[in-house]
A = this chain, B = another copy of it.
Amino acid sequence: MESKSRRTVFFVSDGTGITAETLGHSLLAQFPDCEFRQVRAPFVDSLDKALDCARNIREASRRDGQRPLVFSTLVQADTIAALHETEAHFVDLFGTFIGPLELELGVKSTHTVGRFHGIAESEDYKQRIEAINFTLAHDDGISDKNLEDSNVILVGVSRSGKTPTSLYLAMQYGVKAANYPLIPEDFERNKLPGELQRYRSKLFGLTITPDRLSQIRQERRPNSKYASLENCAAELEAAKKMMQREGIPFLDSTARSIEEISAKILQEIRFGKPVY
């Protein structure tokens, strides 16, 4: 029964489908009470593939007894027409906006299929890959080498969210994000670890509630002192004091996704880029 009441949503693209999926997810999130069955249809870059896709859409329509939703970033007229011949509710991301943009910019769009193709040669892309490699080589304080090349250095107690945030910053924004744990020894010495003192302007702190930290650490090392609520609270308190004393901006990661944390960090730090 449950599957019958769900609509099927297709993300159709001549490329990877990431754009169609991203906007589709954002729009559907505005309808939290509806359940959707999601289908990716990337690389629909020929009429044959579009006709295949149209068949799948019609089949879903019959099966669900409801019109499917289609989020499309197709740019070729014949492939778009093939999908229009289904009865789906069609959200045509490119068709809707490209015409007005052409008028505004006073140039024709290239109607290029597969916008992500060729991206691998772009400077932006190379910067992202370089940032990922940098971030992996500077995860968890494993190396001080070339730390001066970092755009940001995340600090915080173990399991406060530094690693996934660093990787997201690198992958999404091409930001070279090192990260460094603050450990009990640092609090005893009452000093920032390693070379961090030299790069204080690049530091950004993550904190988290003791409850949540204890819960995360329990999964790693059940019933350890490391994971105990008391120890977590003490470490977090010491880290907070250190960050406040050193003038390091920090953010609570508890209820935030890595997307949110990263966007906040980007706002705080300018990275010497012209505009952001």
- Where the two chains meet, the residues of A that have a C-beta atom closer than 8 Å to any C-beta of B are 7-8, 15-19, 22-23, 25-27, 29-34, 37-40, 42-43, 67, 69, 73, 75, 89, 91, 93-94, 96-98, 100-101, 104-105, 107, 109-112, 115-121, 125, 129, 132-133, 136, 139, 163-164, 167-168, 171-172, 255-260, 262-264, 266-267, 274-276
Instruction: Give 8 pairs: A residue, B residue, CB < 8 Å, sorted on A.
Output: A22-B22, A30-B109, A30-B112, A34-B107, A42-B267, A117-B256, A120-B255, A120-B257
The CA-CA distance from A12 to B75 in the complex, in Å, is 25
Contacts of A101 in B (CB 8 A): 27, 30-31, 69, 89, 91
Contact present for B18 and A275 (CB under 8 Å): no
Contacts of A91 in B (CB 8 A): 97, 100-101
**9 closest Cβ pairs, A-B complex:** A30-B109, A16-B263, A19-B26, A29-B115, A22-B22, A120-B257, A89-B104, A119-B257, A42-B263
Closest residue of chain B to A111, judged by CB? B30
Contact present for B171 and A39 (CB under 8 Å): no
Q: Tell me whether A15 and B136 are in contact in the complex, defined as CB-CB below 8 angstroms, given that A40-B266, A89-B104, A171-B171 are known contacts.
A: no
Closest residue of chain B to A40, judged by CB? B276
Contact present for B275 and A39 (CB under 8 Å): yes
CB distance from A191 to the nearest CB of B (A): 28
CB distance from A109 to the nearest CB of B (A): 4
Closest residue of chain B to A120, judged by CB? B257
Contacts of A7 in B (CB 8 A): 105
Contacts of A34 in B (CB 8 A): 105, 107
Q: Tell me whether A98 and B27 are in contact in the complex, defined as CB-CB below 8 angstroms, given that A38-B275, A67-B104, A104-B69 are known contacts.
A: yes
CB distance from A207 to the nearest CB of B (A): 15
The CA-CA distance from A164 to B125 in the complex, in Å, is 12
Closest residue of chain B to A39, judged by CB? B275
Residue of B18, B30, B43, B164 touching A98 (CB-CB under 8 A)? B30
